[in-house]
Amino acid sequence: MPMSNEKYTEEQVKLARYAKALSHPVRVQIMEILASQSCCYSGDIADDLPIARSTLSQHLNELKDAGLIQGEFTPPKIKYCIRREGWDEAKHLLSQFLLMK
């Protein structure tokens, strides 16, 4: 047992959180869709995906909670985009991690 009060480092926790956000194929696909065009309306994403809209909404929320995407309300639709800060941090942490060996 390590002596630290915390079980894991902040980086380990963050890395795991980003990895978890990407741990379902549909969320990988959502990120790919958002990357391929600057932004995208929720409905347009739904048309490309084999899941119910309510289920998509949950996946979008997970990506948002992880800080990887952001949604802008432009009535009556919601425009989703990749969130730079989160995406860049995920990139940085994962790249570092993958380079280690």
Least separation in angstroms between residue 23's CB and its own copies is 4
| Binding flag, residue 87, its own copies (CB under 8 A) | yes
Q: Which does 43 bind (CB under 5 to 8 A by kind): DNA, its own copies, none?
A: DNA
Query: According to DSSP H, which parts of 2-71 are helical?
Result: 10-21, 25-36, 42-48, 53-65
Q: Which does 96 bind (CB under 5 to 8 A by kind): DNA, its own copies, none?
A: none
Is 21 within 8 Å of 62 (Cβ atoms)?
yes
Which of 16-24, 55-63, 70-78 is the region at the interface with its own copies (rule: CB under 8 A)? 16-24
| Binding flag, residue 9, DNA (CB under 7 A) | no
| Binding flag, residue 92, DNA (CB under 7 A) | no
Residue 46, SS3?
helix
Tell me which of 39, 42, 43, 48 binds its own copies, using CB under 8 A. Answer: 48
| Binding flag, residue 57, DNA (CB under 7 A) | yes
Is 60 within 8 Å of 66 (Cβ atoms)?
no
Exposed / middle / buried, residue 94 (Cβ in 10 Å: 0-12, 13-18, 19+): middle
Q: What is the DSSP letter of 11?
A: H
